[in-house]
Structure 1
Amino acid sequence: MQEEGRVTMDFEHRLAEAVRDLGSQHDSPHTLQRMVEITPEFFHSSDSVGVSVVERDRIRTPVASTETLRRLDEVQYELRQGPCLEAIRREATIVVDDLATDERWPDWGRRMVAELGVRASISFRLFSSDDTWGALNVYSRQPRAFDQDDVRHGQVIAAMCAVALARSVKDDQLQSALETRTVIGQATGIVMERYGLDADTAFKVMRRLSSEHNRKLRDLAAEVVAERHLPRCAGASED
């Protein structure tokens, strides 16, 4: 019992330090990358870590310990097999004792062993938003590297990672919205000046063209900014 208490206190101490560390990061991409860097500290044996994200109809690995790991993580998506996908789709936590002998994902497992020397893995499902979720994937070169303490500790770390991921997704969405608004504003100003229109009319012209030609308003606006006039399909007369 005393040993268990010491393990718990040590985990809580490291967790408090991790929270302070993550809070000091100046933006969400750095927070998520730092999350990957500190995650191995909470496991008995961890050599590499990656975060997989499902966005609508695709899966990607925005942060990983190494580029090789990122590539092999993405092989799971190509092969449609692997513990990451299993954690996302079915089980909240997936433990693999030995990728060299596990028969569930033989193609992917063999590549992990051959190219990275990875033998064991543990994956935790991450919930981020209604249309975005993913998994925290921890890998070890030692077979049977993860025990029940690793599972319990990993579930706490995964919850922190989910918060960082949600923040990253929200910041990306905000940045995209700001960029869209900026380019549409620039295009509106160009149309006003080029064709002698007021702001409301210029915007309505672009919105009508966007609808008629089944193009996103941002894409149409970007073309106007690049070409300094409406597309030829607009039917507006040139001066």
Structure 2
Amino acid sequence: MDWERFAQQMASMARDLLAQDSVDATLARIAASATELVEGCDAAGILVVHDSKVETLTPTHQLVIDNDQLQQRLGEGPCFDAARSSQGERVFRIADLTNEHQRWPAYAPQAQALGVGSMMGFLLFTEDQDHGALNLYSRKPGAFTEASEMADWLLASHAAVAFSSARTHAQMEHALATRHVIGEAMGILMGARHLTEHEAFGVLRRYSQENNIKLREVARRICAEGSLS
């Protein structure tokens, strides 16, 4: 492993990740970086588990989707276990699936049939009931070494920071957009009903509570239709 070259690639990747303009774009760049930077990696993706339901984000190959769906169908497998267990190890490396038939008797032989030889993963984030893991795949057994695991750990550590930053930015943009649409809706009510700012907000809040509709959705309806009727 040429660690000097790898360090240069990581620095470039870190800048690239921070330059992405959305959470989805950031996640896609993370997965692509895994195939570019980690020796032996043929495919990568991010698996999110919520209440035992899985979602595959930004897969670089159909193999990633097929493997995630297999784990959900069987309810077992290394990526599935790592993503749904916040108390599990943050990093796992499966050198050869042939040796894992006892650990995952249903999953291991079927994953091999899909073309998975070895795997590696890193717990990327946990939030409420959601757990996400960056997973790497090779078609060859023994493709991932200790050096590969270290490279994956470094990549995933940068990825976790970039993902957190992208998500925070997206949440701020969403909050600003929500504030804007609520302000616009209040202005419409104030003009149509001759209300004060406080009274207009009270109308929005009451309608939201009485109809069990989020405040921003009430505001959007007013902006689109001009009224609540």
Regarding TM over 0.5, the answer is: yes
User: Out of 2, 6, 10, which is 1:7 matched to?
Assistant: 2
Q: What secondary structure, in the 3-state scheme, does the structure 2 residue paired with 1:40 have?
A: helix
Higher relative contact order (CA 8 A, sep 6+): 2
Contact 1:95–1:123 under 8 Å retained in 2: yes
> Which residue does the alignment assign to 1:193?
191
Alignment of 1:156-195 (within 5 A): 156-195=154-193
Sort the Cα spacing of 1:176 and 1:221 in 2 relative to 1 into closer, same or farther, 3 A: same
- The answer as to 2:30 corresponding to 1:35 is yes
> Which residue does the alignment assign to 2:147?
149
Unaligned runs of 5+ in 1: 1-5, 232-239
Partners in 2 of 1:176 and 1:55 — Cα distance? 23
Cα offset, 1:99, TM superposition: 3.8
> Which residue does the alignment assign to 1:237?
none
Q: How many residue pairs get matched?
A: 225
Partners in 2 of 1:208 and 1:228 — Cα distance? 17
Q: Which moved more, 1:57-66 or 1:45-54?
A: 57-66
Structure with max Cα Rg? 1
Once the two structures are aligned, what percentage of the paired residues are identical? 34
Q: What secondary structure, in the 3-state scheme, does the structure 1 residue paired with 2:119 have?
A: strand
Partners in 2 of 1:107 and 1:194 — Cα distance? 65
* Deviation readout 1:43-89 (Å, 9 max, x if unpaired): 22111111234579965333221356246435545654332232231
Q: What secondary structure, in the 3-state scheme, does the structure 2 residue paired with 1:137 have?
A: strand
Partners in 1 of 2:27 and 2:218 — Cα distance? 33
> Which residue does the alignment assign to 1:222?
220
Contact 1:128–1:162 under 8 Å retained in 2: no
Sort the Cα spacing of 1:16 and 1:217 in 2 relative to 1 into closer, same or farther, 3 A: closer
Unaligned runs of 5+ in 2: none
TM-score by length of 1: 0.77
TM-score by length of 2: 0.80
